[in-house]
Structure formats: C-alpha cells, structure tokens
Amino acid sequence: MPAPLMADRLRSGEFILTAWVGLPEPLIAELVARAGFDCVTLDMQHALQDTASVMRGLGAIAFGGKPSFVRLAVADFVMASRSLDMGADGVIAPMINSVADAKALVAATKYPPLGERSWGPVRAMTLRGIPDPQTQLRTANQTTLAIAMIETRQAMDALDDILAVDGIDGIFMGPSDLSVTLSDGKTIGPTEKWLDDPIRDIARRTRAAGKIAGAFAINAERARQFRDFGYSFVALGSDQVYLAEGMKMMLAAARANS
C-alpha cells in the first residue's frame, strides 16, 4: 500500500516537521532529507536558493525519499507555478496580506476552474510518480498545497477572509516579521512571550476554518510550543544552524578534558 501523500498527512492533522534549506547545494538538500525530517523546504526568499538550485534540490529531496516545499520570494507567483511543475509538493508564499494576494497565489498554483495554472508538469509527473496527464489534472489541485504566510498586522486582520479563499490550503506563521509588525518596528523577537497570544490566535482561527496551520520555529523548544498551540506543520531551524550546531557539538566533545 503506498504511503499517504504529504497533503493528506497535513490535512489529517499529523504533526509534520520540515527541514529548512537555504544553501543552494543539492547534496545538502538530499542529506537533510535523509536525516529524519518529514519533508524539506527550500527557501528562495531570504536564503540563497535560485531557480536552478530549486530544480536540482527538488530532485535530490525526492531521491532522499521525502516530500518537498518551496518558500517563494515575495509576490513571485511565476515561481509558484514553476516550483510545482518542478515537482514540489507545495509552496509557501510570504507576505500574503490580503484576499487579493491569496487569490493571486491560488491562480498560480491551481488548475482551472479553481485557478489559472498553466499546463506543463513534466518534471513533476516524473518525481511524483504521476502515471499520465489526466491523473495529474484530476488530482493536482488536492495533492499540491498553496500555503499563505501570515506575518503582518494586515494579514492578521484579513486572516478569516484569506482562509475563506477557495484553494488556500493553509497558512504559515512567520514569528520574526510578526514581532516586527506588531511592535510597530520597535523589536525583532520571535520567541517573546507577548507574541504567544497572537500566535495562538492565528492557529485557532486557521484550525476553525479547517485549514493547515504552519509556523517557523527557530529551535526545538519553540517547535514543541507551536505544536501545543495547535500548529501541525512546523519548520525547525535551518541548514546553516544544523551545520553550526553539529560542528560545535563535535568540537566540544573532541576538546573535552583537554
């Protein structure tokens, strides 16, 4: 019996931990995919991923046996379609602050009549094992995910309306930007206690709408907190943190008692 698709696992409420990879080297994406995460996200917004590295990285993640997501650059709805055509299981779109933004994301990621996604999923069909074009057309709107990032005061005010847009499969809370906008630019504090109530509120409203609630956690403690707050799709740190922490641990152990 085939393993459940990532979209089905997330919709069922299973707690999913995604890795976060910004270094544009496919071997890193593959190694991370084999490390025990449930899936791997490639970051094009703030990290170093580009179109070519995403194309190669998605193949490497699939070779490592895991599903994949792409976090897009702001308003890059062209790359939303391309990421899905390249084989991603879903895209995470930053700064979705309005219904208009949400509808633009749906237009780029869903086939008609739900959206306006253009046809051309040759690589996706290969990586995802889709047997024929008709199956792709029939299933893709459900099996690939459009996730809207909620990370501003404006997005929080519009959250219920964004969640009501047909084709938005879930949200992804960005705590760093949220702390900046809710403090009126006074502080960057993704782990500040005063941020917990807004973070809980986003999860509550998302789950009430029957959508996937995701978030970025900078460490394991925060990931567990987000799970307790009601988030089921959580990014844990990033590849540069994984490398740095691993080096620190190995060096400390090697130098112990010296």
Q: Is 46 a catalytic residue?
A: yes
CB 107 within 8 A of CB 71: no
Catalytic residue among 4, 13, 35, 46: 46
β-strand 39-43 against 212-217: which pairing, if any?
unpaired
DSSP string across the chain: -PPPPHHHHHHTT--EEEEEE-S--HHHHHHHHTTT-SEEEEE-SSSS--HHHHHHHHHHHHHTT--EEEEPPTT-HHHHHHHHHTT-SEEEES---SHHHHHHHHHHHS-TTT--PPS--HHHHHHHT--SHHHHHHHHHHHSEEEEEE-SHHHHHTHHHHHTSTT--EEEE-HHHHHHHHTTTS---TT-GGGHHHHHHHHHHHHHTT-EEEEEESSHHHHHHHHHHT--EEEE--HHHHHHHHHHHHHHHHHTT-
Task: Give me the residues paired with residue 71 across strands.
Answer: 43, 92
CA dist 73 and 243 (Å) reads 24
CA distance 45 to 59: 20
Give the residue numbers marked as catalytic: 46
